[in-house]
Structures are given as C-alpha cells and as structure tokens.
Chains A and B, each alone.
Chain A
C-alpha cells in the first residue's frame, strides 16, 4: 500500500470514528503499537511503566481525536502525544535517580568515534542472541535524552527530519545535528563492545 493511499485510509478511518464507529480505532492504531511502545520504553527504561504510559497515550489519542486536524500525519500526532506522556511520567518519578529533562549536553563539542582499525561486519542474525540484544538496547537507552528521542523518532518510527522537528518543536537543522551526535555516540560505545562478541558461540546453545 503506498503512503498516499495509507494516509487517505487513515483520514477515512478517523472520520468514521468521529461519526461514532469507535471500533475502527483498533485498526487505526495497529501499525503504531510497536513503534510507540519502543519509544516510550527507551525513555522510561522500565517495561511495566512503558506499557502503562503507552496505553495512556492511545487512550488520550482516542479521547482527543476530534482535535486532530490532519496538519501532521496521524502517526506523528500520536507519537507527539506518547512523547509528552512519557516525559511527564519521568517528571513524576520523584526520588528516583533520573536525568534532568532539561539537561542539555554540550551540543557543539566534538565527538570522536571509536577508532576501530578494521571492522568485520556483525550480521543481523546476531540479534537473535540475547547478549547482543542487551548490548544494543543498553546503548540506545543510555544516550542523552535529547539525542535518544531524535534517534528513535528517525530510526524506529521512521519519521522524516521535518516530522521529527515538528514532533519535538525544534528546527530541522537541530534534528540533523542531534541525529549525527546520537549516531556517533552509538558507534563510540558499541564498536568496541561488538568487536569482542564471541563469533564462535552458537546462536542456540541448546541445539
């Protein structure tokens, strides 16, 4: 299905829901369940909280659907709601070690990547290994929040630079800068770790 048709279907679905056919909402949100959850869990670092906040975000979207004007794509609008819900949950966590939401890492300083002299490609199949999944998850969730949110919106939610800018209320140029820094930070952390992955280990040790 091409994107134009998809967007047309979504607007059609939204009209139907607003006219009273609530059940259509189930179908409307299916394509976004995973991406919204992943973004929320990467912000909150906690599965139970993330599930609750994701549910809240979808409920909020349902209740406020009449306010959706179609200026942004439905997916972008939905993600903005989820992002706000996740950040407000972070603020509510008092007494828990948390990063400041307003903390802004130095955005002009130079980030040097990990100086790997030779790189042997890690095949995607390695993600089947829990050890590799954990290393990748940890690296993403430990990015400073301002880089993490841009990285997730661009990479997991596959929003365009302009859509990310809109969802976060920042300029497209800043999206580019933050994405670049997120990527370099991931390389810096992950390249040395992944280089030492045991390539001889069987993926399924019980076989």
Chain B
C-alpha cells in the first residue's frame, strides 16, 4: 500500500522512537526512499530534537546549587530545633 506524505508525518514520532509496528515501518521506509521532502522533514525533526534536548540549552543560574542547599540547611536546622519565632 502506498501512503501519502501527510500520513508519513503522522508517524514521525513513532519512527524516531522505533515504536512503529513492522507493517507501518515498512510503508514509511518505502515512502522515504523516493520522497525527498519527507526525508528532509524527518532529518530536520531528528536534528531539532537532538538540539532541544542538549543540556546546554537551559543552564542553571550561577550559584543556583549553593543557594538551594543553603536553604535546605536552614530548613533542616528548623526541623531539629524548634523555630524560636525569630525571622
């Protein structure tokens, strides 16, 4: 069975995750062999997903970890010693 481009687009995510069933996978692969447009769409999606998943895209603010652990320490001291009511 020949499938159209828009049907291939519906399968992009499954194709990239390797979760398509064998019959669908065969149809998509066959389509990709002769469709440059869908091949380019697939390549760009794969490329874009690698880029957006990169750890460097969202970085922790400077000193984030230090401030977090300092706040946790305050909390932990509070759980051991009853708060005195001081700020």
- Does B86 reach chain A (CB closer than 8 Å)? no
| With A124-B50, A179-B13, A183-B49: A119-B72 Cβ-Cβ less than 8 Å | no
Docked complex Cα distance between A127 and B71 (Å): 32
A33 at the interface (CB under 8 A from B): yes
List residues 132-191 of chain A with CB under 8 A from any CB of chain B: 132-133, 136-137, 139-140, 155-156, 176, 179-180, 183-184, 186-187, 190-191
Cβ-defined contact, B72 with A133, below 8 A: no
Which residues of chain A in 1-60 are interfacial with respect to chain B, using CB atoms and an 8 Å cutoff? 22-23, 25-26, 33-34, 37-38, 41-42, 47, 51, 54-55, 58-59
A207 sits at the interface (CB 8 A): no
Contact indicator A184/B43 (Cβ below 8 Å):
no
Contact check, A127 vs B56: say whether CB atoms are below 8 A apart. yes
**Chain B residues within 8 Å of chain A by Cβ, number:** 39
Docked-complex contact A136 and B51, CB < 8 angstroms:
yes
Task: For the complex formed, measure the closest distance between the CB of A191 and the CB atoms of chain B, giving whole angstroms.
Answer: 5
| B54 interface contact, C-beta 8 A | yes
Q: Is the CB of A136 within 8 A of B57?
A: yes
In the complex formed, the residue of B with least CB distance to A20 is B80
Return chain B residues, CB-CB under 8 Å to A23.
76
B78 to chain A, nearest CB (A): 10
Whether B52 and A136, one on each chain, are in contact in the complex, defined by CB atoms closer than 8 angstroms, is: yes
Decide: B13 and A25 in contact? CB cutoff 8 A: no
Determine the residue in chain B with the shortest Cβ distance to A50: B61
Residues of chain B within 8 A (CB-CB) of A184 are 9, 12-13, 45
Taking CB atoms, residues of chain B closer than 8 Å to A198 are: none
Select from chain A the residue with minimum beta-carbon distance to B49.
Answer: A183
8 Å CB contact of A124 from B45, B54, B79: B54
B 29-76 contacts with A by CB, 8 A: 36-37, 40-41, 43-45, 47-58, 60-61, 64-65, 67-69, 71-72, 75-76
| Sample of 18 A–B contacts (CB below 8 Å) | A22-B79, A22-B80, A23-B76, A25-B76, A33-B68, A63-B75, A113-B45, A118-B40, A119-B47, A124-B54, A127-B51, A127-B57, A136-B52, A137-B58, A155-B53, A179-B13, A180-B13, A183-B49
